[in-house]
Structures are given as C-alpha cells and as structure tokens.
Amino acid sequence: MTRGGPARPLEPQGSRGPGLREDGGGVLFGRRALLEMVVDMKALITGGAGFIGSHLSELLLRSGHEVTVIDDLSTGSLSNLAPVLEHRQFEFVRDSVRNETVMAILVNQCDVVFHLAAAVGVGLIVKAPVRTLETNIHGTEVTLGLANKFRRKILIASTSEVYGKNSKVPFREDDDTVLGPTTFSRWSYACSKMVDEFLALAYHDQWGLPVVISRLFNTVGPRQTGQYGMVVPRFVQKALRGEEVEIYGTGKQSRCFTNVSDVVHALVKLMECPAANGEVVNIGSPEAITIEDLADKIIAMTHSKSAKRHLSYEEAYGRPFDDLQTRVPDLSKAGRLIGYKPGSTLTETLQTVIDYERTQPGK
C-alpha cells in the first residue's frame, strides 16, 4: 500500500464521522454516523473485500451489527463492497493483516474476528507460492496473537484442501490428511491452512482462546472471480461469451459446490455457538458433480453454443499438477452444532452466478 504522509495512529473507536478518510492504517470508507446506536456485535473481517467477505459483511449489517473490513485489495475489490461502503455501521481499512500496528487497533476495537484473509485460487497458488505461504501463515499468526491479547473470539476460514488426496469420502473433520510431495507447489496452500489450523487450536488449548475453524468446500456465488482459476465463474463467463469452455484434466474429478449465502449464514452461527469453540467444522454441500458434467450443465443453463476443450494440467498451469479426484463433506458435526443444512441446490446456485455475470460489462 502507498501511504500519503507519515503514519499516525487510528483514532479511538467512536471518534470518526462518516465519509472517506486517510489514517495511519489505510483508507477508511463509510464510517457509521449514529454512534449512540446499540448493536449486538462489532465484527472485524480480514480479507473482507473478497468474494465471501463481502457477502458476510452484508449479512452482518442486515442483522444490525457493526462491521470493519481490512483488506489490501491484492485479490479483493472495492466493487465487491459497493452495496455497503456508505452504510453508517461499516468501515473499510485498506491495509494488510500482516501490519501488526494497524491490526492491533482494529482487533482491540472489535468484539469478534472473522479471519478470511488468504491467498486463494489454484492459479494464484501455482504462480505465487511464496505469497501464498507468507500471507496465509504470517497473516494468521498476527491475527491469532492479537485475538489472544485482547481476548476476542475468532473464526478461522480454512479449506477442504487440507484433506488432500484422502480417498475416504465423505470427509470427516477427524480424518487423516494425505498431501502430495513438496515439489508440487499446489500443496503449499493446503499446508499453509493446516499450519493455520494447528496454530489456532494451540491457542485454544494453551491459552483458552475461543476459536472455531470452518473448513469450506468450494464456495460459489455472485462476485466470485475466475481470475485465479475458480472453475464456476470461469465456465459461466466463457459460456456467456460463446467461447470454448476449457476443462483441465480429464473432467472426471468431482466437486461439491456450496452457495455463498449458505456459507456466510453458517459462519455467523458458528461464531455465535459456544459449543463450537475449539472445533473444526466442515461447511459445504453433499451434492457432487464432475467437472465435465458441470461444464455441460452451465452450457445448457446459459443456452450457449460453446464447445468444450480439454487441456492437460501442463497446458493449463505450465507445469505438472497434482489434482484431487473427489471432495465430499461429512456435514454431521455442523448439523449438530448449528443445525446446518444447505439451503440451495446446485442449479439454484449456478443460476445466481449466471444472473450476476450477465450484468457485468462485456457480457
């Protein structure tokens, strides 16, 4: 981030008015105006300008909570936050979660922390493994340390990638992880998120920090970008343009795609659930589909004339790639703790993405 002038501390909570400001930690947008307003919770969302974080921000604000987002916009976008930027109970800080000075102020001012900041997407992970490891491990290290210092409950967003190549499905939270060799950089993401989980659980076990870990399974919905390899928006964008839909590998690998609305509702419920402290919880959908069938379904739903084209992983990523053949969650723990059950079918979820992409420039 480029700062204008010397850094100075962020002002104490409640001293800022609405609008756009520059402070020592970054750029601030849309500060609440009615400071006397009573709210249930003041939430800090790291990586909140990303796809999931922006939907979580909207949900929390609709529920009457205050929300502060910190994001360096390296992969997130202010356009994702357009619906909430001027909300009187919303604040945006442009900076990195690795900036401990800024994070200390923000964590101190909040009641709970949703830690979503991470380097994600297969394309980004393969091309920038150092960034993946530094962002995911050090960013979580900073955030957990400050959550412990100020005794704030924290939710860590993890990933189904940690199950690796385990062939036992559905995946249960206490199943073994089976990762590939370190010579395949794609495993750096799974490894970094495992370290995050170990560190979070260590803080809970050693210091009693209230922590909950959510393992997310292929979250999709409006605003997700295809830029970093996310398959659903990439397929939808190609189909709407009538371009070839490129399938990496055989297309026989299967995934379970989860509606972002189901995910963010689950994250809030986990944060509110005392019994979830110290737990790892799968959040996803049990409805599996092969990537080949996904391409066919999207082409049909968009009434596209697109053809399909298979690419080897070497063609797609410029190097050998170790993929997972299947990924299905066991959702029984989420059901017990928060009554979780996916509320959207795959068809309904894909339709929200198609409708969104039709409104974007160039479609």
Catalytic (active site) residue 189:
yes
Check if the beta carbon of residue 70 is closer than 8 Å to that of residue 102: yes
Residue with tokens 């928060």: 338
Tell me the sheet residues that pair with 258.
Answer: 219
CA distance 105 to 112: 13
Question: Which residues lie closer than 8 Å to 6 by C-beta, 6 or more apart?
Answer: none
Q: CA separation (Å) from 222 to 127, 232, 310, 359?
A: 25, 10, 26, 11
Angle at 144 between CA 142 and CA 146, to 5 degrees: 70
User: Angle of helix 291-301 relative to helix 346-358, nearest 10 degrees?
Assistant: 50
Output the six-digit token pair for 289. 């589909």
Q: From edge to edge, which strands make up the β-sheet containing 279-283?
A: 21-23, 26-29, 90-94, 66-71, 42-46, 112-115, 153-159, 211-216, 279-283
3-class SS string, 154-215: EEEEEEHHHHECCCCCCECCCCCCECCCCCCCCHHHHHHHHHHHHHHHHHHHHHCCCEEEEE
C-alpha 109/C-alpha 43 separation (Å) is 9
Instruction: List the catalytic residue out of 163, 189, 228, 248.
Output: 189
Q: Closest Cα to residue 141, out of 156, 153, 121, 130?
A: 156
Question: Count of H helices and E strands in the chain?
Answer: 12, 15
Active site members? 189
